[in-house]
Amino acid sequence: MPDKIKIAITGIGNVASTLAKGLEFYKNSTEGLWHPKVGGLTLNDIEILAVFDIDSTKVGKKAGQITDCKASFSDISVEPGIMLDVIPAQISQRGQTRSINYDEFVKKLKMVKPDFLVNLISSGLDKTSERYADAALEAGCSFFNATSAKTATDKTRSAFESKGLIILGDDLMSQFGGTAFHRGMIDFMSSRGIRVQKAYQLDVGGNQDTMNTMAEEVRERKRNIKTESIAVESPYPFRSTAGTTEYAEQLGDSRVSYYWMEAKGFLGSAIEMDLSLRTNDSTNGCNVIVDSLRAAKDLLIKKDLGKSDIISSYAFKNPAKKMHIRESIKLFEDSFVN
């Protein structure tokens, strides 16, 4: 039996809280779990060792005070992380931030000795995410990047693999979120001989990540990532736009995605789709996170690091190697589930 999958988390927000609650819930259930076993590992094999944040209202508190989680995770004290970007307004308005320098963070990470540093900070903090990846490499642990920052390049992958480590990223794609659903619909229409002409996806959300995305530079970058991710599903080019358009505080951790697609069938007959999808961001991402961590641990045990691109293509919108969504799921399940 392999050792526990030991993780440290940066950013104790909705996703970290949901992940911790999920690890506790799935000790005695598999209901709602996409893959109960991955690489022979269950969720009982994942253990949170440390949590880092820069919000002074969180640092120093027990994780359980912030997440209302009753698991062993609840007794972990939130420690200060690093911050190299402009501090988001919603954090600075709540008071002072607490951070440490890079060398201090690396030292703490070496003391904790996690298998993975899981980066769950908000979008738009690219310099900080990139530095967290550097810290993981220096401390000798693998790195999982849920943010849109470009950390999992060919260069960084080589650097991690040279140390027997894995880097996974970038920009987490939820199990049934806006991008996954959009990709699935384009794939299905194309496989049925329908020729897509035009499409758009507009997302509205109410959490901190959505608020950060409202910065024009961040919004444009994420729009490009989503649009390129969706375009992979079609064997021909078509006019497409996808991205977050608005922050609505009343939605909380929910996200509403609006889709419109125009296509042509036999004799050029018109097919038009106009629909909306409402999901919860945090719960929608956790199945993918726990799948990826277990698959990566399996590769580390087997010292088969070359297959990490299968995990990234399965789990992220902007991996180094892009695949069709149907292909990425099949490869992942053939490699780690079946």
pLDDT digits (tens, 9 = 90+) for 194-226: 999 999 999 999 988 888 888 778 888 888 888
User: Do β-strands 239-247 and 142-145 pair in parallel, antiparallel, or remain unpaired?
Assistant: unpaired
User: Do β-strands 270-280 and 254-264 pair in parallel, antiparallel, or remain unpaired?
Assistant: antiparallel
Residue (of 134, 161, 139, 116) closest to 315 by Cα position: 116
DSSP 133-170: HHHHHHHT-EEEE-SSS----HHHHHHHHHTT--EE-S
Give the pLDDT of residue 91. Answer: 61
Amino acid at 197: Q
* For the chain, domain boundaries: 5-173+283-336, 178-281
Give the pLDDT of residue 141. Answer: 98
Give the pLDDT of residue 310. Answer: 98
Which residues of the chain have a pLDDT value below 70? 1-2, 88-95
The distance from CA 218 to its chain's CA centroid, rounded to whole angstroms, is: 16
Give the pLDDT of residue 174. Answer: 95
* Beta carbons of 289 and 118 less than 8 angstroms apart: yes
pTM of the full structure: 0.93
Give the pLDDT of residue 214. Answer: 81
Give the pLDDT of residue 218. Answer: 80
CATH of domain 5-173+283-336: 3.40.50.720
Give the pLDDT of residue 318. Answer: 95
Give the pLDDT of residue 89. Answer: 65
Give the pLDDT of residue 30. Answer: 94
Give the pLDDT of residue 65. Answer: 87
Order of strands across the sheet with 167-168? Answer: 78-80, 46-53, 5-10, 116-119, 142-145, 167-168
CATH of domain 178-281: 3.30.360.10
pLDDT digits (tens, 9 = 90+) for 129-182: 999 999 999 999 999 999 999 999 999 999 999 999 999 999 999 999 989 999
